[in-house]
Amino acid sequence: MEVRSITAIPLSHSLGEGQGLGGARGITQSRSAALVRIETADGTVGWGEALAPPRSVATVVDEVLAERVRGMDPYDVETLTADIYVDEYHFGRGPLIHSAASAVDIALWDILGKATGRPVSDLLGTSSASAFLGGDDPTEVIPYASTMYITEWDEDPAAPVRAAADEGFTAAKIKVGRNVADDVERVATAREILGDDAHLMVDFNGNYRPKQAAQAATALEPYDITWIEEPVPPENLSGYAELNRYTSIPLAAGEAHFNRFEFKRLIDDRHVDIVQPNVTHCGGLSEARFIAKLAATENVAVLPHVWNGGVGLAAALHFAASVPSYPHAGSLPEHKLFEVDRSKNPLRDELLSDPLDPTGGTISVPRGPGLGIDVDEAAVERYRIDRGDERALGGTKVDGRG
């Protein structure tokens, strides 16, 4: 079984004039993804997804990765990222090549699952799945709604949180980071709607300096915050260390970090309590698994960041189900939560023949072979853009900040 062909497919959907959304550091006017379709000599097809500017990913796949992957045995998938570090000496640690490699890696894992008739989560290892859920069923996880975005339009901040509660979500993460007074108002609104027992997380998207973040953390402590996400910019590691001395609220980061070396610094120096690799950005399932093992050695929690289309969402679910429960055995002090974006994104909701449903308080980990999904190729064509096509992107920055 060897790879016969690899195709990169850039996708984008414009949110429409005045409908941009995002966080404290910026707004995006489109949702995008880069899919990779790999087919083996025996006709097995695997799908992967990258979180990065889609046309750029397609170019990297064509010009850097395709020659390496054609003829490859999918069972060698875990050598891909390591080989890139070595062979692409000057460029092998950049975020763009890691995003492109992520899509290729995921597609190869999808092929392996189909070849063996097993879900990817089984291949990654699910011995701790029961502990992941705090129960006996390894096929479902507890989702949290990623919502209350900062929007171009004058949206009532309470509306999206009410919608999430009505859909059965028992946890939510909301956007903050514009100023402390606004942070408190948004958090108080969300807490009132969700109730005292719900998990509530806040995402600053790196918009504060350390002492600003410390002031915000102090002001938010009465609202029982589960974690603070990206309080300072991703490159400001000393800022994380400084903030950790100010607050007892756990700190989380990782969506803007992209390889084992960056995560190792976060983990070894205890800058954060939770690392959040995105499997479509950090180097794929193989690299995410490597990062999870690094985290386990230092007793740091691993909860994937997810702001993806349908293929990336499925891949993240399989990774989440495989994350070790160390040091917990027999009982889990708190549930591990799984991120589900609730903003408008047809690349999440329409690309799969049977979209993943997070409503009702749980979301199922696909149990079919590979990723356990069927990609609707007609929907893929609806959102496909040419390499030089600006019409869907509207000439705006394609942002992966979720």
- Shared-domain flag, residues 234 and 134: yes
Whether 153 and 203 share a structural domain: yes
pLDDT at 87: 80
Lowest mean pLDDT among 22-31, 52-61, 81-90: 81-90
Nearest of 163, 206, 165, 202 to residue 185 by alpha carbon? 202
What lies within 8 Å, CB to CB, of 390 at 6+ separation is none
Would 391 be classed as within a structural domain?
no
**Residue 395 clears pLDDT 60, i.e. is over it:** no
**200 and 324 belong to one structural domain:** yes
Is 399 part of a structural domain of the chain? no
Domain co-membership, 205 together with 315? yes
Average pLDDT rounded to a whole number, residues 202-214: 98
CA gap 54, 51 in Å, rounded: 8
Do the beta carbons of residue 344 and residue 149 sit within 8 Å?
Answer: no
Q: Is residue 99 part of a domain?
A: yes
pLDDT reading at 12 higher than 80 = yes
What value does the mean pLDDT of the chain take? 91
Do residues 36 and 167 both lie within one domain?
no
Whether 319 maps to a domain, the answer reads yes
Q: Which of 13, 257, 271, 305 is catalytic?
A: 305
The Cα 131–Cα 126 span in angstroms is: 10
Residues 6+ apart with CB under 8 A from 216: 176, 177, 180, 183, 204, 208, 231
Position 126 scores a pLDDT of 58
174 and 304 in one domain? Answer: yes
Q: Nearest 5°: CA angle at 24, between 18 and 28?
A: 40
In-domain check, residue 313: yes
Residue 390 domain-assigned? no
What's the DSSP call for residue 35? E
* Secondary structure class of 201 (helix, strand, coil): strand
Q: Are residues 23 and 131 in the same domain?
A: no
Q: Using an 8 Å Cβ cutoff, are 166 and 389 in contact?
A: no
Q: Rounded to an integer, what distance in angstroms lies between the CA atom of residue 390 and that of residue 284? A: 28
Contact between 25 and 206 under an 8 Å Cβ cutoff? The reply is yes
Does 262 lie in the same domain as 178?
A: yes
Structural domain includes residue 104:
yes
How wide is the angle at C-alpha 256 spanned by C-alphas 251 and 259, nearest 5°?
105
Q: What is the pLDDT of residue 330?
A: 64
CATH number of the structural domain spanning residue 93: 3.30.390.10
Write the pLDDT tens digit of every residue in 42-70. Answer: 999 999 999 999 999 999 999 999 999 99
According to DSSP, the β-strands at 171-175 and 228-229 are unpaired
**How many CB atoms sit inside 10 A of residue 124's CB?**
20
Share of the chain above pLDDT 70, in %: 91
The CATH number linked to 317 is 3.20.20.120
State the residue range of the domain holding 279.
121-364
Query: How does pLDDT run across 267-321, given as a tens digit for each residue?
Result: 998 899 999 999 999 999 999 999 999 999 999 999 999 999 999 999 999 999 9
- Do 77 and 190 have their domain in common? no
Task: Let me know if residue 328 belongs to a domain.
Answer: yes
Residues 133 and 35 in one domain: no
Please give the Cα distance from 220 to 223 (Å, whole number).
Answer: 6
- For the chain, give percent helix, strand, coil, nearest 5: 40, 20, 45
In terms of domains, do 87 and 140 share one? Answer: no
**To 10 degrees, what angle do helices 95-116 and 310-322 make?**
70
Query: What is the pLDDT, as a whole number, of residue 387?
Result: 72
Q: Do residues 133 and 236 both lie within one domain?
A: yes
Write the pLDDT tens digit of every residue in 337-388. 999 999 999 999 999 999 999 999 889 899 999 999 999 999 999 999 987 6
Distance from C-alpha of 178 to C-alpha of 204, rounded to nearest angstrom: 8
What's the sign of the alpha-carbon dihedral 142, 77, 3, 277?
A: positive
pLDDT in tens, 123-181: 998 544 433 443 434 577 899 999 999 999 999 999 999 999 999 999 999 999 999 99
Catalytic (active site) residue 271: no
Confidence of residue 192 (pLDDT cuts 50, 70, 90): very high
Nearest residue to 51 (alpha-carbon basis) of 337, 383, 277: 277
Instruction: Give how many domains the chain has, as a whole number.
Output: 2
